[in-house]
Amino acid sequence: MTSIIVVDFGMGNLRSVAKAFEHVAPGADVMISADVSDIRAADRVVLPGQGAIGGYIKALYDTDLEPAVLDAAANKPFLGICLGQQVLYESSDEHGEEGESVKTLGLFKGHAKHFTDVSSDPQAMINPQTGHQYPIPHMGWNQVKQTMKHPLWQGIADMARFYFVHSYCLQSENEADVAGVTEYGVNFTSATARDNIFAVQFHPEKSQHDGLKLLENFVNWKI
C-alpha cells in the first residue's frame, strides 16, 4: 500500500489536502503528520501551506522538520503546494526586514516577490480592460500554461484553470525548472519541476477535476 504523508506545520487546511488524496487514491494510506519518522518512512511526501512565508519558515525550524523535508525532497516523489512551492526557492520578500528577504530552502534558484514589485513598469498591474489595478491577493481561477511535458500534466489540458490565493509570486531564475507559467498582470512561475520534485503555486485540492487529476498523477508517478 502506498503511503502519503501530508507534512503538518500547523498552517493551512491540511485536512482538505488529505481528503483530496483519499478521494483519488482510496487504496493509499494518507496521513497528516509532523513526526520525522513518519516522513522518512512515507513513499510520497506532500508539503502544503498557506499563510505567510515568515511564519512558515519559523514553523519548519521550530518543529525540527527541515532535515526530514530536505531528505524527502532529495529521495522520493515530493509535491509542494502554495507556500510549499515558494519555500523550495532561495528567498522571499514577504515578512523580510527592510531591504532584506526571508531566506528559504534554496533547492531552486529564484525569489518570491510581491506582485507589485515584479515589474519596473507601473502599468504592469493595471488591468487594461478595467483600468484598475489587479486585486491583490490574486484569488480565484486562472490558467496555467504548461512549459514542459511532465507525468503530472497527463490528462490535463494546456491552459487549464486552477485555483490560486497568494500575494507573492515566484520568479524562477532557471527556465529548465519551470513546468508552468501564469499571467496576472505579470508572468510568474506557477509550477516547478525537477527530478522527483513537482511544486505548484495553486491549490489542486480546490481545483476540481484538473486539480484532482494532478493529485492522482502524483500518486501514480514513477520516478
pLDDT tens for residues 142-153? 999 999 999 999
Q: 182 is written with which cell numbers? A: 501564469
pLDDT tens for residues 49-100? 878 888 888 888 888 889 999 999 999 999 999 999 999 999 999 875 555 7
pLDDT of residue 200: 98
Which domains does the chain possess? 3-220 (3.40.50.880)
Beta strands in 55-174 (DSSP E): 78-81, 91-92, 102-103, 110-114, 138-143, 145-146, 161-166, 168-172
Looking at residues 206-221, what average pLDDT do you find? 98
Q: Which of 90, 203, 209, 216 is catalytic?
A: 203
Q: Is position 205 annotated as part of the catalytic site?
A: yes
Cell 511526501 identifies what position?
45
Q: Which of 100, 205, 209, 216 is catalytic?
A: 205
Confidence of residue 13 (pLDDT cuts 50, 70, 90): confident
pLDDT of residue 98: 57
- Per residue in 159-172, is it b (16+ CB within 10 Å) or e — as a string? ebbbbbebebbbbb
CA dist 217 and 26 (Å) reads: 14
For the chain, count helices (H), then strands (E).
Answer: 6, 14
Q: Which of 22, 82, 95, 166 is catalytic?
A: 82
CA dist 177 and 180 (Å) reads: 9
Please give the mean pLDDT across all residues of the chain: 94
CA dist 216 and 210 (Å) reads: 10
Which residue in 193, 184, 183 sits closest to 154, CA to CA? 193
pLDDT tens for residues 97-114? 555 788 999 999 999 999
Query: Is a pLDDT exceeding 90 seen at residue 122?
Result: no
